[in-house]
Amino acid sequence: MVKIATWNINSVRLRMPQVERFLTEHAPDVLSLQEIKTVEELFPHEAFEKLGYTHRAVHGQKGYHGVATVSRIPLREFSRHDWQDNGEARHVGVELLGPGQGMILENVYVPAGGDTPDREQNLKFGQKLDFLERMAFWADAIDRPTLIVGDFNIAPLECDVWNHKQLLKVVSHTPIEIEALDRFRNAHGWVDLGRELIPAPERYYSWWSYRAKDWRQGDRGRRLDHMWASPQLAAQALNHQVIEETRDWEKCSDHVPLVMEFDL
């Protein structure tokens, strides 16, 4: 059994107490973090070492973006892709070397895309679409069992948002983004594990805005975080959890962790 988690932490140094609590209470074998907002040299290596996560792959930059995968299982860094095409730290891939040996785990932070869903008016939106196209081109050549996790910044299904009609023209749920994500999925035949194990139209969100005074009462969530697997790996997925309680923790991230268990 191998347990893998993903979490947009929105600054790993600021929220290391929350990470420590999550790792202590839920004990995943591997945790992929997005938006770590720090360079590798300032990453809290010592804190993870004390928690038993002695294997790490960190691709960071100062103050923005950044991804890291920490593990109790031996791993090696496998790849770093610049799908943003501007040097931003938004991806790191690893190969598991212990239990689950041979699995490739890709950790990605897709750009949010700004506020206006028009590439002519909004450079960031165009960058997001281009990022997804580069991911699709890459996925077309994958030839090993792969799990890709992270903050995709897209809620693809109508039931992945609190109100489909109100959000159709809101970046993260527009048809053009969903079409781009579909092209990425079809390029490798990815299986959306979250929706395999929490079937639509069941409620399933991973992000709630900080603007909400009471996020639980309003429950205006979106499913922006994902865990997708190659078909042969997807068949080994056993259990999926959305750890919503972290959204109530002090100084919380606006995202919550996803956890997947595999029979490897």
Query: pLDDT tens digits, residue range 195-220?
Result: 999 999 999 999 999 998 899 999 99
Q: Quick one: what percent of the chain has pLDDT higher than 70?
A: 100
Is the model's pLDDT at 98 over the cut of 90? no
The Cα–Cα gap between 93 and 105 comes to 6
Flag whether pLDDT at 93 surpasses 90.
Answer: yes
pLDDT bin (cut points 50, 70, 90) of residue 28 is: very high
Q: What percent of the chain has pLDDT over 90?
A: 97
* Helices and strands (H and E) in the chain: how many: 8, 14
* Whole-number pLDDT of residue 99: 83
**pLDDT grade for 63, boundaries at 50, 70 and 90:** very high
Beta bridge partners of 91: 108
Radius of gyration of the chain (CA): 17
Whether the per-residue pLDDT at 101 is higher than 90: the answer is no
pLDDT band at 91 (very low <50, low <70, confident <90, very high): very high
Of 21 and 101, the structure prediction assigns the larger pLDDT to 21
Q: What angle do CA 260, 235, 244 make, to 5 degrees?
A: 20
Average of per-residue pLDDT across 57-85? 97
Alpha-carbon span 153 to 90, nearest angstrom: 12
Short-list 137, 133, 231, 132, CA closest to 189: 231
So what's the pLDDT on residue 144?
94
In the predicted structure, residue 122 carries a pLDDT above the cut 90? yes
Average pLDDT value for the chain:
97
CA distances from 243 to 22, 25, 217 (A): 9, 11, 17
Q: Is pLDDT of 44 > 90?
A: yes
Please compute the mean of the pLDDT values over residues 132-159 and round it to a whole number: 97
Mean pLDDT confidence for 145-173:
98
Q: What is the pLDDT, as a whole number, of residue 164?
A: 98
Over residues 128-154, mean pLDDT: 97
Instruction: Give the model's pLDDT for residue 102.
Output: 87
User: What confidence tens digit (pLDDT) does each residue in 154-163 have?
Assistant: 999 999 999 9
Q: Which CATH superfamily is domain 2-262 in?
A: Endonuclease/exonuclease/phosphatase (3.60.10.10)
pLDDT at 100: 82
Summarize pLDDT for 217-263 with one digit per residue, the tens. 999 999 999 999 999 999 999 999 999 999 999 999 999 999 999 99
pLDDT at 141: 96
Long-range contacts of 177-185 (CB under 8 A, 24+ apart): 177/113, 177/117, 177/128, 177/129, 177/132, 178/154, 180/129, 180/132, 180/133, 180/136, 181/132, 181/152, 181/154, 181/156, 182/156, 183/132, 183/133, 183/136, 184/132, 184/135, 184/136, 184/139, 185/228
What secondary structure letter does DSSP report for 255?
B
C-alpha 153/C-alpha 155 separation (Å) is 7
